[in-house]
Amino acid sequence: MDPMIKWIGGATAALVLAIGGATLAGGVFSEEAGDVAAETTGSTNPQSEITSEPAVQPVAEAAPEDEPLVIKRILPISGPIKYGEWHWDDAGVPDGPVVMTVDLEARVISVFQGGYEIGAAAVLLGTEDHPTPLGTFPILSKERHNVSEKYNNAPMPWTLRLTWDGVAIHGGSTVENGYASHGCVAAPDGFMDKLYKVAAKGDKVVITRGKRIGMGDPII
């Protein structure tokens, strides 16, 4: 596979699908959240005398936040990411907006900072009865020590809440083949500890199904 193309949610293409994660069997782990749910202002210098040429106004450059956030680096991960596996490398990566992507077919989450992929992990997702929703979701809140009031106080540490009706990214789960969530995105604890430190309220999470993007492509 072309190494410059990837699932939007992961660092390698076929990923967990290659190890049979597409069919979820066994117990369903209760891990859904609880009841929660330029302007050009170029100042023109006064003219000491009248000239025949029109004044030239400078053209304002686009502000950095107006520029599209594109992929500048993909982590060099060899082989498919297996359940329970995660990668993180933010050494030397400049500050920039943090965006997370999750792909339901790849079953992988990726973390980008200023367009540089700094983290990737295999994740647990919802079932047909409790699907993980598609779309772009801003992080609504962060809760370091959270439990599910809806599901017998199941631990949900490092919660990044995406919806007020219970969908979140969190740790505290057994990320293995045969397990699933009630719609949440559950990642390994070590990965979530690092993600929780860099993610902020309002950062966007893009959830897709089978979408691939490559170097230079916009993330959102």
Let me know if 184 is a catalytic residue: yes
Distances (CA, A) of 207 to 76, 85, 104, 132, 137: 22, 20, 7, 8, 8
Active-site pick, 87, 130, 182, 184? 184
Is 43 among the domain residues? no
State the SS3 of the chain: CCCCEEECCCCCCCHHHHHCCCCCCCCCCCCCCCCCCCCCCCCCCCCCCCCCCCCCCCCCCCCHHHCCCECCECCCCCCCCCCCCEEECCCCCCCCCEEEEEECCCCEEEEEECCEEEEEEECECCCCCCCCCCEEEECCEEECCCEECCCCCEECCCEEECCCCCCEEECCCCCCCCCCCCCCEECCHHHHHHHHHHCCCCCEEEEECCCEEECCCECC
Q: Say what the pLDDT of residue 172 is.
A: 79
By the 8 A CB rule, do 122 and 15 touch? yes
Q: Say what the pLDDT of residue 166 is.
A: 86
Let me know if 182 is a catalytic residue: no
Q: What is the pLDDT along the chain (220 residues), one digit of tens a residue?
A: 444 444 444 444 333 333 333 333 333 333 343 333 333 334 444 443 434 444 444 444 444 555 779 999 999 998 889 988 999 999 999 999 999 999 999 999 999 999 999 999 999 998 888 899 999 999 999 999 877 766 666 777 999 999 998 899 999 777 666 566 778 999 999 999 999 999 999 999 999 999 988 899 999 8
Domain count of the chain?
1
Whole-number Å distance between alpha carbons of 121 and 169: 12
CATH number at 73 reads 2.40.440.10
Q: Say what the pLDDT of residue 130 is.
A: 86
Domain enclosing residue 144, as ranges = 1-36+68-220
Is 3 among the domain residues? yes
Q: Say what the pLDDT of residue 183 is.
A: 81
Is 53 among the domain residues? no
Is 59 among the domain residues? no
Q: Residue 102 is which amino acid?
A: V
Is 15 among the domain residues? yes
Is 94 among the domain residues? yes
Active-site pick, 87, 145, 170, 182? 170
